Structure 1
Amino acid sequence: MYEPASPGWLLVALCAATGAYCLVRMRSPVEEQRRTAGAEALMGFGMAAMAVPAAVVAPPRWAWLAYVTVFGAAALRGLWAARTSAHQLHHLMGAVAMVYMAAVMTAAPAHHEHGHAGAGAGVPALTGVLLLYFAGYVLRSGARLLPVTVGGGGPGGAEPGEWGARTTVRWGDRPELSEACRLSMGIAMLAMLVTL
């Protein structure tokens, strides 16, 4: 027997853990990695705070307005950065989704619980577009995590003489962990949009 708030707490834990790993990635010597990790850490911790079950803590209206302000600024930054990096478009979409969810919760009557503000009204067009985008992003990110063999004799396509040589990669610079974090945040965003 589980409490109704249990999935919400799992979502909080997932997003907080992802945000914490993104903070580790901010120590990377690669500038682009640090910049991307900072945006993803903000998204992870923001999603964790937004996912706290309303039965436990019902945020006041000003908290939702603060989300709109913070993620509105992140969306503007993402829009500016998207000129030079295609990955920044995803950060822009994430920030827009956060602004949208916070705006919906700001406008929701106080007697509606988190996740039930739009019950019975159908799926608004913007929610549908965001759901489609994040579903596609999750599928793409998941596919990028699948192992690919490109020939050769060793694991992952390495030549037999190469697999004995080990290279040390810092935790913050591991591409598969970064991709797994992006995948988990995409899944979390889908879960949050579905309950909107």
Structure 2
Amino acid sequence: VLTTVSGADYKDYTSTVNNSVSSVMITPTAADPTATITVNNVAVVSGTASDPITLNVGGNTITTSITDGVTTNTYSIVITRQAPAVLASLYDDKQTAPVTVNEVVVHQNVSPNGDGKSDYLQIDGISAYPDNTLQIMSRSGTLVYEVKGYDNTSKVFDGHSNTNGKLQQAGTYFYSLEYKDGNDTKHKTGFLVLKY
């Protein structure tokens, strides 16, 4: 959610995201079809998404400029990525080691080349949350994989679409993971890189 704030630019916004959001894309649309648009000084076609912009913990400024050759308007968004949650630990004096609370971590590299390393999308801690739904989209927003109950064993993304069975091209894809934690529904979004 963007909040308009006062600032030096044509329009200034702020937003805050969870630590699980590691990147965003900006989709600027110009009213003038001849206008030139840049996002962080990289040209973007009106109505299409920018390349993923990595978010560091803390404040991240994203600048979008639109010019018609005479007038240039600059839009700035300061996105604050929250710090990671502190990992809680439970200790039982009958055990010799602390038991950590399950944390869901989505690995960003998928390399299904048969070498036994990152051959499928690994999601740490997902077995503790069997009531989950994973969606993976291409950069254009096309759904290439969707499954309920992702489990790192029988239900895995290994580069093949489960909507058409085709092996997907190498590149950047985006995921949306929703899972039930007790009565709470939690969400994680981000990107992954598929390479062979």
- TM-score, with length taken from structure 1: 0.25
Using CA pairs under 8 Å that are at least 6 residues apart, name the structure with larger relative contact order, 1 or 2.
Answer: 1
Structure with greater strand percent:
2
Q: Whose helix proportion is higher, 1 or 2? A: 1
From the CA coordinates, give the structure whose radius of gyration is larger: 2
